[in-house]
C-alpha cells in the first residue's frame, strides 16, 4: 500500500507553507496566528488544522522547508571543483548573497532561533539544522587537512567559529542595515577563517592571494570566487593553431574592475596586474564581440569604459 501523500495534499501543504512564511516574515513567530495563515492561504481554519493540527507542527514544517533549501544550496557549494579555501569562501559568499537577495529567510530563521529557547521541539529542530551546516563545513575543512592546506590542530572548532561569525553579522545587519557593510564584514570573516585554519601561519595570506588568481595582494574590487564561477563559462578555450593561453583571464577582469572602480587611465593600472597594454587589448576585443557586455550583465556591473584614454 502506497502511504505517500497525494499530489493534491502536497500542493495544499506547499500553499500553506508559503502562506505561513509570508505571515512569519510580517508578524514574526510571536505574532503569527493560525487564522491569519489560513486567510493568507485562502483556506478555512478547519482545513488548515486538517493538514497541521498545531501551530508548532506547522512551524516545524516551515523549518523543514528551510532546511531543505539550505542543504540544497550547501550541496551545490560542496560539489564545486574548488580548493578547500575556495569552498570556505563560497559558504560566506552564499550567506552574504542570501542576506542581500532574500533577507526574510534569515529573518524568519533568526526569529525561530529565539523561539527555540522556549519551545523544545523547535529547539531540537534548530540544533539539527546547525548540525547539518557544521557537517558540510567540516567536509570542506577535512579536504583542506588532507591536502595540507589547513592545520588539523586548529580545525576542531572551526565550523562553530565560522557559523558564529556569519550569524553574528547577519543578526547585526538585519537589526541595523546602514551600519553594516556586508562585503567588508564577510571579507573579514574569510580572513579570520583562513588565519584560524592555518593556526596563524602566513599560509592564510598566500591562500587569499591564490584565490585572487595571482601572487599579489587582493584589491577590494577583485572578483569573488562566486562571481568568477558565474562568468568563467563565458570564455572559450584558446584558439587552436597557436600557443596555449598564458594570460590569466580572471586577472584581466580584476584589472578592468579596478579601472572602473577607480576611474583611472589605462597607464595608471597597478603594475601587479598584467601590463596595461594587455588589459586594454582584451577590453577592446571583448567590447567588440559582446563579451564585456555579457560579463557586465552577469555581475551587474557597468564595464563600459568612459574614463581616461590610455
| CA atoms of 39 and 301, how far apart (whole Å) | 42
Over residues 273-310, the pLDDT tens digits come to 878 888 888 888 888 888 888 888 888 887 765 444 54
Query: CA dihedral in degrees (169, 171, 173, 179; nearest 10)?
Result: -80
E strands present in the chain: none
Specify the CATH architecture of the domain 7-53.
Orthogonal Bundle (1.10)
Full-prediction pTM beyond 0.95? no
Decide if pLDDT at 219 tops 80: yes
- Take residue 217 and report the three cell numbers written for it: 595582494
Within this chain, domains 7-53 and 58-211 share the same CATH topology: no
- The pLDDT value recorded for residue 76 is 67
Over residues 101-147, the pLDDT tens digits come to 888 888 888 888 888 888 898 899 889 888 988 988 888 888 888 88
φ, ψ for residue 144, nearest 5 deg:
-65, -35
- The pLDDT value recorded for residue 155 is 83
CA atoms within 13 A on the CB side of 253: 27
Decide if pLDDT at 159 tops 80: yes
| CA atoms of 99 and 184, how far apart (whole Å) | 14
Going by C-alpha positions, the residue among 96, 110, 98 that lies closest to residue 72 is 98
Work out the mean pLDDT of the chain and round it to a whole number. 82
Burial of 139: CB neighbours in 10 Å, binned 0-12, 13-18, 19+: middle
Rg (CA), the chain: 24
Assign 197 a pLDDT band (cuts: 50, 70, 90).
confident
- The pLDDT value recorded for residue 210 is 46
Q: What is the 3-state secondary structure (H, E, C) of 273-310?
A: CCCHHHHHHHHHHHHHHCHHHHHHHHHCCCCCCCCCCC
Helix 84-101 × helix 55-79 angle, to 10°: 140
Q: Where are the domains of the chain?
A: 7-53, 58-211, 225-299
Tell me which CATH code domain 58-211 carries.
1.10.357.10
Per the CB < 8 A criterion, the answer to whether 37 and 23 are in contact is yes
Burial of 54: CB neighbours in 10 Å, binned 0-12, 13-18, 19+: exposed
Q: Give the Å distances, CA to CA, from 115 to 18, 63, 71.
A: 20, 12, 22
Of 240 and 177, which is predicted with more confidence? 177
Of 71 and 286, which is predicted with more confidence? 286
Decide if pLDDT at 208 tops 50: no
- The pLDDT value recorded for residue 165 is 94
Decide if pLDDT at 189 tops 80: yes
| CA atoms of 125 and 116, how far apart (whole Å) | 8
Average pLDDT over residues 1-27: 84
Amino acid at each position: 500500500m502506497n502511504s505517500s501523500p497525494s499530489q493534491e495534499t502536497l500542493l495544499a501543504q506547499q500553499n500553506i507553507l508559503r502562506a505561513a512564511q509570508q505571515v512569519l516574515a510580517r508578524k514574526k513567530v510571536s505574532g503569527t496566528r493560525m487564522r491569519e495563515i489560513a486567510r493568507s492561504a485562502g483556506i478555512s481554519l478547519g482545513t488548515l488544522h486538517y493538514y497541521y493540527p498545531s501551530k508548532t507542527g506547522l512551524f516545524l514544517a516551515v523549518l523543514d522547508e528551510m532546511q531543505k533549501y539550505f542543504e540544497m544550496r550547501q550541496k551545490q557549494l560542496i560539489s564545486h571543483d574548488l580548493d578547500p579555501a575556495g569552498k570556505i569562501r563560497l559558504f560566506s559568499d552564499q550567506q552574504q548573497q542570501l542576506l542581500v537577495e532574500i533577507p526574510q529567510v534569515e529573518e524568519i530563521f533568526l526569529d525561530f532561533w529565539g523561539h527555540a529557547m522556549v519551545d523544545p521541539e523547535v529547539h531540537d529542530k534548530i540544533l539539527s539544522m546547525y548540525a547539518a551546516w557544521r557537517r558540510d563545513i567540516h567536509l570542506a575543512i577535512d579536504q583542506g587537512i588532507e591536502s595540507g592546506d589547513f592545520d588539523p590542530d586548529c580545525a576542531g572548532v572551526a565550523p562553530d567559529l565560522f557559523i558564529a561569525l556569519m550569524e553574528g553579522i547577519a543578526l547585526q545587519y538585519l537589526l541595523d542595515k546602514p551600519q553594516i557593510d556586508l562585503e567588508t564584514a564577510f571579507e573579514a570573516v574569510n580572513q579570520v577563517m583562513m588565519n584560524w585554519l592555518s593556526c596563524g601561519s602566513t599560509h592564510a595570506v598566500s591562500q587569499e592571494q591564490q584565490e585572487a588568481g595571482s601572487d599579489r595582494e587582493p584589491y577590494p574590487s577583485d572578483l569573488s570566487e562566486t562571481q568568477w564561477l558565474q562568468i568563467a563559462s563565458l570564455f572559450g578555450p584558446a584558439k587552436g593553431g597557436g600557443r596555449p593561453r598564458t594570460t590569466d583571464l580572471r586577472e584581466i577582469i580584476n584589472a578592468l574592475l579596478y579601472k572602473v572602480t577607480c576611474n583611472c587611465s589605462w597607464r595608471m593600472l597597478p603594475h601587479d596586474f598584467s601590463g596595461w597594454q594587455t588589459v586594454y587589448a582584451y577590453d577592446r576585443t571583448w567590447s567588440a564581440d559582446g563579451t564585456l557586455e555579457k560579463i557586465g550583465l552577469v555581475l551587474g556591473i557597468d564595464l563600459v569604459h568612459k574614463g581616461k584614454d590610455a
